Structure formats: C-alpha cells, structure tokens
Structure 1
Amino acid sequence: MFQPSRLSRAVALFVLGLSASANAVADDTTRLDALTVTATKGATKTETPVVETPQSVSVIESEDWQEKGAESVQRAANYTPGVGTNQIGSSNRYDYLILRGFSSGSINNTFLDGLKVMNDGGSFSSFAIDPWFLDRIEIVKGPTSVLYGRSSPGGIVALTSKRPEYEFGGEVRARLGNNAQREFAFDVTGPVDDDQRVAYRLTGILSAADAQQDFVEEERRAIAPSLMWDITDDTSLTLLAYLQSDPEGGYHSGLPYEGTVVPRNGRKIDNTFFEGEPDYKRFSRDMAMVGYDLEHQLNSQWSVTQKFRHLSSDVKLQQVYAFGWASDTELLRFYSAAEEDLEAVTVDNQVKGHLAIGAVDHTLLVGLDYQQRRNDVVWPRGAFPAIDAFNPQYGAEPTALSGPSRNLREVSQTGLYLQDQMAIGGWRLNLGGRYDWVDIENTNRDTNAAAELDETQFSGRAGLLYYFDNGIAPYASYSTSFSPNAFRNADGNLIEPSEGRQIETGLKYQPVGSRDLYTLSLFRIHQENLATKLPQEPFYRAIGEIQSQGLELEAKTQVSENLGLQVGYAYTDVMFEKSEAYREGNDASQVPKHQVTAWADYRFTEGALNGASAGLGVRHMADIWADDANTRQVPDYTLVDLALGYDFRHVGLPGVSARLNVNNLLDKEYVASCFNSTNFCYFGAERNVTATASYRF
C-alpha cells in the first residue's frame, strides 16, 4: 500500500524544483530552446497561455515523447499526472487514457485538431493516430463540454497535427527493436512557389512488430499529405488528408485474476501467453480522412474559421477470448467477430475577436458545430473449446456459432457555443456556455426495432485567475459536461445522458522569462445519471452517481543548462456514491489512487561526451482496485525507463542523431489493471528496447 511519506516526498520534490527554477531564472536564458511551449487551444480554442488558463492543462510536445521513445499517444502521456495509460496493459490497439479516474469512455475522449473524428464509443471503429503525425498533445483535465459537446467529465485529449511550413525541411527516421520491431518514417515540408503563397507537407510511416503475446502482430501503413494556400493576405485554406491501414491490430484481451495477479493452484500464466486461436485472430482497420481548414481575417481584431472533416473507416475482427476458468488448468473461451463500416462528418464554424470595453479586454469566441456518425455493424459470436493456460494446444474450431446481430448506430450533434475571456489588469475571467441538440438512434437491422434518444443539453464554464507580475497565478473554476449512455430503459429507449460538474482550484507558476511551468490543482468532479441496473430488473435506470476528487502536482523545469527535470504526482479518489449494491460506496477499479512520476534528462556540452544525452525516468502506481466490489487489489508497481542519445553534428554530421530507448528497463512482470469482474486482468508491457537513427534537414 502507498505510505503517507510518499506523498510528503512528492510534494517536497515539487517544492524543491520550484525553488531551483526561481533561483536559476535570473541568470539562465540559454535554456529556453529545450523547454515546452505553453500555449493552448485545447482548453479555450484560442491562443491562451497555459499559465493564464483557469483550468488544469498539460502540454506534451513532440520532442518530449520522442525523447522517451513513446510509440503511441497513450504512451506519450506516461509521465502526465492524473492520466492513466495502462488500462489495457500492453495493448496498443487503441489509445486508452483515463483522465482523473474516469475509465468508462477513456477510448472516446480524443479530439484531432479540435474535432471529434477519431472515436465511436461502444463499437470497434475507433482509430489510433500514430504520434509521428502530431505536433503536440494537450490534455485538458475536467469537463470541457462547453466547447466540444459530449465528452467525459474527466477531460479531453486534444491532438494537433503537423501542418505545412514555408521553410523547407524535414526528417527521415529508421527504428529497430526487440520483438521484431521495424519502422521507417519520413516528414518533408516546404514552399511550392517562389512567392511562398503555397506550402506542402507529406508525412508517412511504415511500421511492424510482434506483439508481446505469442502469434500476434502489429502493422501500420499511414500517409498524410497536406497543402496550405494563402489565397490572399487575409485568407488561407489548408487541405488535409490522412490515410491509415492497420492490417494487424495487435493484442487486446485479458485473463483471470487467479493465474495473473495470484497463482492458480500454485501456478501463474506467462505474460506472453495467447489464449486465442492463430486461425481465428484478426483485427484490420482501414480509414481515410479528408478535410480542410478555411480562415479569413476580417480585420486586425476579428476572424472567421471553418474546419471540416469527413472520415470513412472499415474494421474487421475475429477473436477468441477467455472468460474465467473451466477447470484447474483450462480457460473458458468464446468467439467474437465484427464487420463495421463507419462514416462520419464533422464541421466547426468559429468567429473570434478582440475588443475593449472600458478597462476590460475581451477575447470572444462564437461557434456552431455539427457532427454526424453512421456505423453499420455486424457482430457474430459463438462458443469455443477451452484451452490449457499452462500447456496450450492450438487448432480448435468453434463448437457453436449464433447468427450475427446487425445494427445501425447513428449519432448527430449540433452545438452552439459562446466564450468570453476577459482581462483587466492581472485578472482573467473566463465565461462560457453551450447548447447542444443530440439525436441518437440504434436500429436492429433484423427486427427494425430502434432505441432512440433525442436530447438537449446546456453546458457551462466559469473560471477566475489572477496573474501576478512574478509569474504566479492562483485560479478557481467551475465547469460541466454531458455524455450519452449506451443502455436502454424500461421502454427500450436509450437512457438520458450522464452529467458531470467540477469544482477546481489551483496555483500555476511560470518564472518570468522562462518556459518552466509548475502547477498544483485540487478538484472534485461529480457525475450523475450513470446507467445502473437494479436487482430483478432487465433494464437500466439513470440513477447512478460517481465522485472523483484529488490533487495533482506537475513540474517541468530546466534546472541548469544541461539538466532538465519533469516531476508529477496525482492522488485520485474515485467512489461510487449511488450504484448497484455490490459497489455502492466503493472505489472504482483500474484507477491508481497514487501516481508518482519523475524524468531527468542530462545533455553533455563539453569534453569527450559533447553531444551525448541521457534520460532516466521512474513511474510508480499504487492502490489499484481489481474490482468495483473492492475485494481484490492489483499489486503496486514501479517501472524504470532509460534513454541514451547522441547528436552527430559534433563530429561533422549535422542533422544526424541516434537514440536508444529502454522502457521497463528492469523487465518487471506486472499486471497493469483488472476490470471489475476480475476475469479481465491485463499484463503490463515487458521490456521494450528500440534503436532509432534520424536525419533532419
């Protein structure tokens, strides 16, 4: 169990870094290039510095996750407090990100360039964009429905894609690693014409690897062409496309608590064990996204923007999965398959402006957005023979297959929103409101029976911050969210959406003249209208309630010209206030109550090691329940990561660099989390070693 002394050490380390930064900022100006840019659009959809935003926001730059060797969006957030990245253990199929303890919907809280195009909750048709195509990641913690509509009360993950630039440049990268990892990636951008009115960018990647589990592979091919055209001095148009094919989607399954966390009759299952069938394993995902960003500057103060994306996706799945023990050594198995055809459209229209009324400066944002998703799904299922978990023999066939269920899932959302960011002296007041019209219809293709939801919803946010001249900024805020439920009531219709509200207060500090950033936040989130099934009732009611409260500390600082430090701590307490009897009053599973992370990076600038760099990180997770009944726990675990790099410009090869990353350096075998019934526990990733060579030009 986590000891109170660990919290004291985490706070002490945070304060120590704060002091070090304050002492160093007066005489250290060369360090700025190595640090994080702290402006955000995720929380406000405007260019607002994080230190002046009255809500907790963590920004992860591409250089940061590349240094740590992160190969997915969820791994890029490994060192961000308040974010759980191990919900499904070693699986890389989707980007699961638990924000402030809300594991439900954690696959459904990602936005790309401010638009919800990537996810379809309740189906297999979400896709994971490779971080190679991204410029940065912003994690906005707490409700954000005021700008984005339906979303988790834990927050959102706002991804920003790479864009064309008018200066020629690019990068090629090759990577090799254990488990047959191999990758080639390229990125090139520059002007098309001499007048620099048109610029292009072409980014692509080919990657493949064996998964940790036997017989399973991961494979990806993706390319993203884009073109930016400055039609006039005031009008610009950016055309974007993203094509991705994942012929092999890797592993995505779990195993019982007995045999993984604790022995089963004195024996444990190997963390490379594959409980499925080689002839019945498939996950292929093909998607294409096209769209544009059109922006017109009306004058020096006002602009209008329209963003549009169209997404089509095709997913095919075959999977044999385990569900509990059939005997002392054999696992029960079932068969699941899917064919899904998703079409989605989303558009966001914005008017932004600045005006002064008396002593108050206003930054106004008015928006009208619309999104529509249509997913045609076919889900066969059936039974499969059991398998010996300790001496597996493969080659079985299904013992029974049931006719597939055919469903049409349709979602549309229209939202009208308004935000006013006011500044007077050091005061920053943020007020926002949004009204949504949501229409959801799930139709059984075989019976034509439909479950419907036609709902309107208001969301709001109010935040107040004072920015002192020395860079200290205390703040407080209140915000709300809503998220549709996927369960039916007694009438056969979808139950009303769940609603979330958060109170947050905190302190931010950015030393003047630096890019160091320190944040402390205290929050309480209350979510109601959760789907709950009462005893003896075959339907759900929207009567559940859950509360998440906690503390988060985050520090990013350049202690000296050579040494950078990133430290984080999160205390997250998530409790079911009203729910089914077995979990009412209990803590939620899969959520570490205590999370401590630290990463130190040292760059050598003199002597024989000039050009070399070394990074060392530690991640510690503690107090994780394996079930909502709170009868079993996942053991605490600590992981160590290592990075070694060298910049060859110091030996006459400018632009050439190499890096060695070892994640889970000590090759710790651990269970990352367990889901509720404890029939689904997920092994964490084993030691991962990659060597990367790149050339920037």
Structure 2
Amino acid sequence: MRSRSLPCTPRPLTRAVRAAAIALPLSILAAPPASAAETDARRYEIPAGPLSSALSRFAGDAGVLLSVDGNLVQGLNSSGLRGEYAVDQGFAALLRGSGLRAVRDAQGNYSLVAESAPVELQTLHVQGSLGNALGSMEGYNATHSSVATKTSLPLLETSQSVSVVTRQQMDDQGSQTVAQALRYTPGLMSTPYGATTRYDYVALRGINDGSVDNLFLDGQKMLGDSGTYSSLQVDPYFLERIDVLKGPSSVLYGRSNPGGLVALTSKKPEYEAHRQLQLTLGSNDFKQGAFDFTGPLGDEQRMAYRLVGVVKDADNQVDGIEEQRYALMPSLSIDFTDDTRLTLLAMLQHDPKSGYHGGLPADGTVYQHNGQRISTHFFEGEDDREKFERDQQMLGYQLEHRFNDVVSARQNFQYLDSRVDSEQVYQYGYTTQYGYGADGDLYRAYTGAQEALHAWSVDNQLQFEFATGAFEHTLVTGLDYQRRKARVNYDGGTASAVNPYTGVRPEATYSFYHQYDESRRLEQTGLYLQDLIALDRWRFSLGLRQDWVETSFEQTNSIYGDQSDSDKESKLTGRIGVLYAFDNGLSPYVSYSDSFNPNTSPAYNGTTGNFDVTLLKPTEGEQYEVGLKYQPPGTDDLYTLSYFDLTQSNLSSKDSSENFFRSVGEIRSRGVELEARTRPTPNSNLVASYTYMDVEYTKDYIATSGANNRGNTPNVVARNMASLWADYTFADGALGGLQVGGGARYFGRSWADAENTLRLPSYTLFDASLGYDLSRVGLDGVGVRLNLNNLTNEKYVAACNSLYQCYYGEERNVMATLNYDF
C-alpha cells in the first residue's frame, strides 16, 4: 500500500470543524427571536423599473415573504426606492399611485391587494436573505441569483457570468432532461455524448472531463462518483429554475470543475394552494404522467407542503432500448417563527430502464464505410445483456433563521443513496483494426457492475449585513463538509462481433470474467469567507476558502492483485471581482477566480514488469474574466458580454509506449460569450446567444513514441456556437390564447479526437412550439402544447470521444403535453 500527503490540518482540528458543522442547527433553533423587521429601518438602493421587479427585490432585501398576483402588477412601473425605510414604509413608497397596497398577516407575511378590495392570489414566494434568487418567477428573465455568492444578488451586480433558465422556459421548450433545458445557454455543450438521456452531461467553456461532477441540487453538490456509473439525475419537472455559473467556483463550493457549475433549484412548498396534472405523449412511444400539488397546512398556515411526481415509459430512437422512471419529490416547510423556517426535502427515484448510452465508430457515422453509413437506429449491443437499473434517494433539509437585521444563519443538509445494477455490450472499432474478422464487423466488449453509493453533505452559513462608514457589507462565512463512499463490483469480458451493414444479427457468444471489487472514499472540509462590498455605485466581491480533502481507494483485482492508495490535499482558493453599476443600466466588471478538483479515479501504471494503481494530483484551474452587463432602466431585460481566459492544469496524460499516466497536461480556453434575454413586447420573449472559443492543449507529455497533443484542440469543442429562441402569445382577437415559438441552434465544426485527425461538420437544428390556453373556450385551467425538436430531422454526429466512439444526435422529436391547473 502506498500513500502520500501534503500539509493539512491536524486531526483534532478536523474533528472540531465537523462537530461545529453538526452543532450549528441546535444553536439556530435555540436562538432568541429577532427584532421585528417591519419596524426597523434599513437602507435600500432599488432602481426604477417594472413594479414586479422592484417589489421582488425589496422583499428579498427586507427578508420578508411576499405573495403577489401577477395580473395586479402587469404593465406597472416603479420609480425605485432609495434611502432608509421600515418594511411597511418601503411597501407604501413603492406602491404609491399604483392603486395597490401591501397587507401584513399575523405571521409577518405580506400580500398585495387592490386598495378597494382583496383578490384571489397566485403566490410568488420571496423568503429570507436569499430573496427571489431561489423562488418561483414568471417569464424568462430572472433578476437575481445566489449561485455566484450564496446570497441574493442582482445579476446586473454580479461580477461573473451567470445564466438562468426559468421554469417557464423549460415548459415552453418542452425540456425532458436538464441537459435539454440548457440547449439555448451560451458557453456550454449539452450533448457531448449525443442523444443519451441517462445522465445530464454539460461541458462548460470547453472543459469536458466526461463526468457530471459539476451538477448541484439546492446548493449542495450532487455527490455521485465520476469514476463509476453512480451519478445521479434529477427530472426537470422537479425543478423551479437552473442557474449556470461560468468559470471556477471553488471559493464557495470547494472541489469543482473550472469550466463552471450547473445549480438546480427544486420546487418548494408554497402557501397558496395550487395543483397541476400533466400528461405528455410523443415520439418513440413516449408516455409521461406528472403531478404537482402544493399549499398550506393548518388554520394558522405555519406549514406548507409540496408533492411532485413523475411516471415515464418510452422507447428510444435506437432499436430495442427503453426508458422507465418512477419518481417522487415530497417537501414540507415549517415556519417556527416569523424569522425561522425549516424545509424538509426528499427525492425517491426508481429507473428500471435508463435509455441508450453507447457509441459507434467515426468510420460509418462521420463518413461512409465502403459507401454506407450506420443507421441512427442501429443497436450495437445485445438485448439480453443491456441493463441499467438505478435507484436513488435524497433526504435533506434547509434551515434558515434571522437573528436580527444584521445576522442570519442557514444550514443545508443532504443525504444521498444510490444503487446501480448494469450490464452492457459495446463496440470499440472494427475487428480488422485488431487483426481478425471480416470487413465491417464491430469488435465488442462487455462490462457489468453492481454499485452502491452513500454520501452526505452539510453547508453552514452565517450572513452579516452592516456598514462601515460609506461601505455597505454583506459578509458570508461558512463551513461545509461532504463525505462519499462508493463500492463497485466490476465484471469484464468480450462478445462476438456484429456487422451493422448486413442486417443480419447472429446469436451472440460471450467470454466473462470478474475484474475487480473496489471501495472509493472522499472527504472534504472547507472554511470560506466572502465579503460583498458596496460603495456608492462600486461593487466589490472578495472571497477566500481553505479546503482539506482526503481520498482513498482499495481494490481487489483478480488479474493484478490487490491495489490501494490514499491522498491528502490542502488547498487555498480565492476570488476577487470589481463592478461599477452606472445609472443608465450599464455594469462593466472584471474578476479573477481559481479552483481545484481532486482525482478520485485511479490511474493505471502498466510499465513492464510492474502494474500499479495510483491517485493523480488534483487538477487546478484559474480564470480571468472581463464583461459588460446592460439592463435598460425600467425593464427586466438583460444583455451580457464577457471575455474569459481559463486554464486547467495537472491533466492526466501518458506516453503510449509506457501506458503510464502523469499529471502534466494543461488546457487553455479563451473566448467571448454574448447573451440577450429580453421581452420585446409584453406578450413575447426572446433569448439569443453567441459563443466564440479558442481552446487548445498548452502542455502535454513529451512522448518518446506516440503523439503529443500540445497545440491541438480537445474534442467536444466548437469555435463558434449560437442560438436564438423567441415566442409570442396572442392576447386578444380570434387568436387570443395561442402561443407560438421557435428557435435555432448552431454548433460549429469540432474535432473527433484529441490528436485532431478528423473534423466533425457543423450542424444547425431548428425547434418549434405551439400552445393554446383552453380556458378561452370554457375549459378553465386547461392548456395544451406541442413541441417539435430538430424540426427538419437533421442527421448528424453531435460529438466524438475518439475515432472509435462517436454519438449520433437526437432525431426529430414531437411531444404533445396537456396541463390541467386547478
């Protein structure tokens, strides 16, 4: 057994840190009640704009819950709010002349009603110090996000590139996976493995490691194991919004991919009753039923529930492949006092079948093989050895308490459990490449695995809002801890060849063997401090974090004997950002951030006479970003332009003659991103983006034999990407209630392999949607929608991982959805 370590915190301090992480919620619940927020004045700087945005920001900054009927504020504007106000005074000032007033109930929550009479409300929740950065919203244009700072901050004042996909955008575009929901977001590639729906792969800013290690749920990292099949997936119907943070983010989240992260926010309980039933039918015999129920519990309305469920059954564009899902997400919110809220969360998901997850050689897909191409429906595996059954459970809570107008505390906890039972026969090139077989026969291998993953994480945060002279501070300090353990029993083997061109499939023969049993562990403890400083129109963001990470694995290998290794790493990361918010809506900014990500997968050293398994050094990343954001005064529209220079180092690379991995590789990614989210008219939405990227290997192992990729471009990277989506809803006349939408997605030429021997052609895909509100014909609460993706049925290879593994993109797909809201 081998181990090595870098300087790290002594064990007693580590134990003390973990004890503090667990003890914090007890101190929150035992804390004395806060002072009454409705009587204490504080300073606000809210610009002129739509009344809905001004109210949302005011409620978030004040830390109160606001319920709003969107029809009441539609088309109304606000002159903004500047100066010191108590909560009641602030609402009165914002609503002056609008014909509306804010009413406070016995629990300290506010609702918006007409001055003459109350109305039936549709709820918009804004709770506590995170404001509307996590709540539900209407339309496509989010105004705030917490993903970059762990506190509610206007996107216009965030000195890093952030994109937000709202619930309405997901619905209008008919997104069936998280990856599909991100198709119109700049700076990312959401189909690096083609039309697969088993995982939500997202490659950000040219950085793709083949994992889903950059996904977060409700502020917590989804602790799947990137070296196994135990990576979790969340159904998009369970989500309220998706925030995408571009660039390194270790200062708040610890180990992370330097390209960025995707933060999923689940649906939470609401205090106004709402129920939805949904039925979707579509291509490949797609059938899905879903429901979403929420509302208050009890006469005092101190509790609210939400229950969301999905049942899905579908075939696939690949012959013989199926998808099935049974998923449930219950949650319960309890307001112990006006200042203390606990939300209990759970997700239970069973996927008996998880769709296609294979690839085909470039020879026969990207270009013809002897004048023929492999069909997009061809299945290279075997029905009796195709299995991917996944069970995953998540239990957690979010606890928030405001001590007073200065101090608030939050704790987020998640426990994850996943079990995967899988088998797969897959191809890896033609048999003739290995010196045997007939022309056109595919060489095939077999893998099988039984896996169990257990993980939990906790994030404790204290937030302080105060002023020192002319400087206004929002100080966030935190302590987080995560622990993950994965066990896997892995089988290998080979299967007889199959020819994709003849239409004949002989009965398969197999050769199996048990390869290894492995246990993999990871622990991370992190302390972080962030200060958001406002000085007049200046905004400064300063952050530091210290992490201690321990990784280990133990392997019983039937071929090479027992193997094990462990590693301890200590890393200090930081972030700094400067932004100036002009009165005219322009906000130029500059920022720097860095990251690190420990290697939890073993690398194999196959040198002659020796076989060893070791953990490589953590990859590291750093990024410089310069940008400009623009929000025209009086609107929620947001236009962003950013230039980034990103480097990822310590990538594993090898000399093909030694088959020995070394942490010597480096990628540099530079580019420009443009995004526009606007409402040209009150009944329309428009989302447009363009990305230019220049990505290359800047360091690689100088091989004594074999290729050196220095100067080459990684696969799954296009120099140019662009997208445009627009929709319009007719309000009146014969077409009243009709919604039409359409979009286009362009992905430029990319390389099939890191050696840059084969280019993939560019492709452009068109999407369309058509919806109608059936309440216009007397069916209250009923709506229908038709979505068509890849409208022209373009046949294309979305990406390749090598010359032997290329992935067809999704064929034309038609989905019809019926909603009933009541």
TM tier relative to shorter chain: over 0.9
The answer on whether the counterparts of 2:533 and 2:541 sit within 8 Å (CA) in structure 1 is yes
**CA gap 1:399/1:323 in 2 versus in 1, 3 angstroms:** same
Q: Distance in 2 between matches of 1:616 and 1:30?
A: 28
SS in structure 1 at match of 2:221: coil
Aligned match for 2:695, one of 574, 577, 585: 574
- Which one of the candidate residues 596, 600, 619 is aligned to 1:498? 619
Where does residue 718 of structure 2 map in the other structure? 592
Name the CA distance, whole Å, in 2 between partners of 1:586 and 1:636.
18
Q: Hey, what's the Cα distance between the residues in 2 that align with 1:464 and 1:310? A: 36
The CA distance in 1 between the partners of 2:140 and 2:231, in whole Å, is 32
2:655 aligned to which of 527, 534, 537 = 534
Map of 1:3 onto structure 2 = none
Q: Give the aligned partner of residue 62 of structure 2.
A: none
Distance (Å, rounded) in 1 between the aligned partners of 2:370 and 2:534: 66
Q: Following superposition of structure 1 onto structure 2, how do residues 174-213 of structure 1 map, counting pairs within 5 Å?
A: 174-213=279-318
How many angstroms does 1:51 deviate by?
Answer: 1.0
2:805 is aligned with what amino acid? F
**Residue in 1 aligned with 2:682?**
561
Contact kept, 8 Å, 1:99 with 1:106, in 2: the verdict is no
Post-superposition shift, 1:458? 1.0
Question: d(CA) in 2 for partners of 1:623 and 1:670?
Answer: 12
CA contact (8 A) 1:440 1:453 kept: yes
Corresponding pairs, count: 672
Whether contact under 8 Å (2:499, 2:505) holds in the other structure is no
Counterpart amino acid of 1:674?
C
CA distance in 2 between partners of 1:258 and 1:105 (Å): 22
Q: For 2:223 and 2:242, how far apart are their aligned partners in 1?
A: 15
User: Is the CA contact 1:302–1:353 (under 8 Å) kept in the aligned structure 2?
Assistant: yes
Q: Is the 8 A contact 1:487 1:540 kept in 2?
A: no
Which of the residues 510, 517, 537 maps onto 2:638? Answer: 517
Amino acid at match of 1:532: S
| Partner of residue 43, structure 2 | none
Shift of 1:649: 2.2
CA shift for structure 1 position 513: 2.2
Most deviating of 249-258 and 225-234: 225-234
Q: Return the match for 2:428 from 323, 327, 334.
A: 323
Q: Does 1:690 align with 2:815?
A: yes
> What's the secondary structure of 2:404's corresponding residue?
coil
- Secondary structure of the residue aligned to 1:34 is coil
The one-letter code of the counterpart of 1:367 is G
**Is residue 474 of structure 1 aligned with residue 600 of structure 2?**
no
Correspondence for 2:798? 672
Aligned residue in 2 for 1:17: none
Deviation at 1:489, TM superposition (A): 8.0
Counterpart in the other structure of 1:621:
747
Partner of 1:16: none
Distance 2:604 2:514 in 1: 25
Query: What is the match of residue 549 of structure 2?
Result: 438
* Aligned equivalents of 2:211, 2:226: Cα separation in 1: 9
Aligned pairs (5 A) from 1:328-343: 328-343=439-454
Letter matched to residue 523 of structure 2: S
Aligned-pair CA distance for 1:492: 4.4
Find the counterpart in structure 1 of residue 330 from structure 2.
Answer: 225
Displacement of 1:394 in angstroms is: 4.2
Moved more, 665-674 or 228-237: 228-237
Question: Which SS does the other structure have where 1:67 is aligned?
Answer: helix
- 1:11-410 matches, cutoff 5 A: 29=75, 34-326=139-431, 327-394=438-505, 396-410=507-521
> d(CA) in 2 for partners of 1:549 and 1:361?
34
| Secondary structure, aligned partner of 2:384 | helix
Change (3 A) 1:562 1:227: closer
In 2, are the aligned partners of 1:110 and 1:119 still within 8 Å (CA)?
Answer: no
Secondary structure of 1:533's counterpart equals strand
Q: How far has the Cα of 1:233 moved from its partner? A: 2.0
Aligned partners of 2:583, 2:516: CA distance in 1, in Å? 62
What code does the residue aligned with 2:596 have? F
User: What residue in structure 1 maps to residue 13 of structure 2?
Assistant: none
Q: Aligned equivalents of 1:135 and 1:350: distance in 2?
A: 23
TM-score, normalised with respect to structure 1:
0.94
Amino acid at match of 2:407: W
TM-score by length of 2: 0.80
Tell me whether 577-586 or 389-398 shows the greater mean CA deviation.
389-398
Matches of 2:511 and 2:163 in 1, distance apart?
A: 49
Verify: 1:455 aligned to 2:569, yes or no.
yes
- Note closer, same or farther for the CA distance 1:511–1:260 as it changes in structure 2 (3 Å cut): same
Higher RCO, Cα 8 Å, sep 6+: 1
Once the 2 structures are TM-superposed, how far is the Cα of residue 534 of structure 1 from its aligned partner? 2.9
Task: Say if 2:474 and 2:533, in contact at 8 Å, map to a contact too.
Answer: yes
Query: Could you report, residue by residue, the CA deviation over 1:402-433 in whole angstroms, capped at 9, with x for unpaired residues?
Result: 22310001111111111000001110000001
CA distance in 1, matches of 2:777, 2:498: 57
What do residues 129-171 of structure 1 show as CA deviations (whole Å, max 9, x unaligned)? 0010010000000000111111110000001011111111121
Summarize deviations over 1:247-301 as a string: whole Å, max 9, x none: 0010001100010010001100000100000111000100111111111111122
State the SS of the aligned residue for 2:725: strand
> What is the aligned-residue RMSD (CA, Å)?
1.8
Distance 2:424 2:142 in 1: 43
- Alpha-carbon distance in 1 for matches of 2:365, 2:140: 41
Please tell me whether Structure 1 or Structure 2 has the larger radius of gyration of its CA atoms.
2
> Which amino acid in 2 is paired with 1:506?
G
In structure 2, distance between residues paired with 1:489 and 1:378: 18
Q: 2: distance between equivalents of 1:525 and 1:680?
A: 27
**CA-CA distance at 1:598 after TM superposition:** 0.4
Q: Secondary structure at the match of 1:212?
A: coil
Gaps of 5+ in 1: 1-20
Return closer, same or farther for 1:334/1:130 CA change in 2, 3 Å cut-off.
Answer: same
Render the CA deviation track for 1:564-614: whole Å, top value 9, x for unaligned: 211100011210011144311101111121101001111112221110010
1:563 Cα shift?
Answer: 3.1
Contact 1:285 1:314 in 2 (8 A): yes
* Contact kept? 1:518, 1:556, Cα under 8 Å: yes
Indicate the larger mover: 519-528 or 323-332: 323-332
CA distance in 2, matches of 1:177, 1:328: 38
**Alpha-carbon distance between aligned partners in 2 of 1:462 and 1:549, rounded to the nearest angstrom:** 19
Q: 1:297 to 1:562 in 2, by over 3 A?
A: closer
Q: Which amino acid aligns with 1:204?
A: G
The structure 2 residue matched to 1:546, chosen from 627, 642, 667, is 667
1:305, distance to aligned residue in structure 2 (A):
1.2
- 1:403, 1:95 → 2: CA distance? 29
Tell me how far apart the structure 2 counterparts of residues 304 and 282 of structure 1 sit (CA, whole Å): 45
**Worse-matched range after superposition: 532-541 or 168-177:** 532-541
Question: Could you tell me how far apart the structure 2 residues matched to 1:400 and 1:184 are?
Answer: 41
Q: Distance in 1 between matches of 2:461 and 2:604?
A: 37
Task: Determine what percentage of the aligned residue pairs are the same residue.
Answer: 47
CA distance 1:487–1:118, change in 2 (3 Å): closer
Shift in CA distance, 331/430, structure 1 to aligned 2, threshold 3 Å: same
Distance 1:671 1:252, change over 3 A: same
Whole-Å separation in 2 of the counterparts to 1:217 and 1:506: 45
Q: How far apart are the structure 1 equivalents of 2:619 and 2:463?
A: 31
Q: Deviations over 1:151-192 (max 9, x none)?
A: 110000001011111111121100101100001000011111
**Contact 1:108/1:119, CA 8 A, preserved across alignment:** yes
Q: Given residue 460 of structure 1, which amino acid in structure 2 is its aligned partner?
A: G
The structural deviation recorded for 1:437 is 0.5
